Amino acid sequence: MDTVKPSPNNTPAQINIRTMARENLAQWLEQNNEPSFRAKQIFEWLWVKGADHFDMMTNLPKSLRVRLEKSFVFHIAEVDIVQKSQDGTIKVGFALHDGRMVEGVIIPTSKRITACISSQVGCSLQCSFCATGQLARDRNLAFSEIVDQVRGLNRFSIDQFGRGLTNIVFMGMGEPLLNLEEVFRATEILTAEEAMNMASRRITLSTVGVARGIRKLAERGSKFNLAWSLHAATNEKRAQIMDINKSNPIEKVVEAMKEFYARTKRKITLEYILFHKFNDSQEDARNLVKIAKEFPCFINLIEYNSVVGVSLERSTPIRSRRFLEILTDSGLEAHIRRSRGHDIDAACGQLAGKNND
Task: Give residues in contact with ligand SF4 (CB under 6 A).
Answer: 123, 125-127, 130, 132-133, 173-175, 208, 349
What minimum distance in Å lies between the beta carbon of 357 and ligand SF4?
A: 17
Please tell me the total number of residues recorded for the chain in this structure: 357
10 CB-near residues (< 8 Å, 6+ apart): 16, 73
What minimum distance in Å lies between the beta carbon of 243 and ligand SF4?
A: 9
What minimum distance in Å lies between the beta carbon of 126 and ligand SF4?
A: 5
What minimum distance in Å lies between the beta carbon of 248 and ligand SF4?
A: 11
Output 68 or 203, the one with its CB closest to ligand SF4: 203
Cβ-proximal residue to ligand SF4, closest one: 133
| Residues labelled catalytic | 103, 348
Cα dihedral 50, 94, 229, 319 sign? positive
156 CB-near residues (< 8 Å, 6+ apart): 79, 82, 90, 92, 106
What minimum distance in Å lies between the beta carbon of 186 and ligand SF4?
A: 17
Whole-Å CA distances, 235 to 21, 61, 128, 288, 296: 41, 61, 15, 12, 21
Output 157 or 179, the one with its CB closest to ligand SF4: 179
What minimum distance in Å lies between the beta carbon of 127 and ligand SF4?
A: 3
Output 17 or 302, the one with its CB closest to ligand SF4: 302
Output 308 or 318, the one with its CB closest to ligand SF4: 308
Output 77 or 135, the one with its CB closest to ligand SF4: 135
**On the CB side of 350, how many CA atoms lie within 13 Å of its CA?**
18
- Please report, as a single letter, which amino acid is at residue 73: V
Which residues face 203 on adjacent strands? 168
List own/partner pairs for 281-286 with CB under 8 A and 24 or more apart. Answer: 281/319, 281/323, 282/322, 282/323, 282/326, 284/232, 284/233, 284/237, 284/323, 285/322, 285/323, 285/326, 285/327, 286/326
Rounded Cα gap, residues 343 and 89, in angstroms: 10
* CA 296 distance to own-chain centroid: 22
Rounded Cα gap, residues 165 and 160, in angstroms: 11
Output 101 or 196, the one with its CB closest to ligand SF4: 101
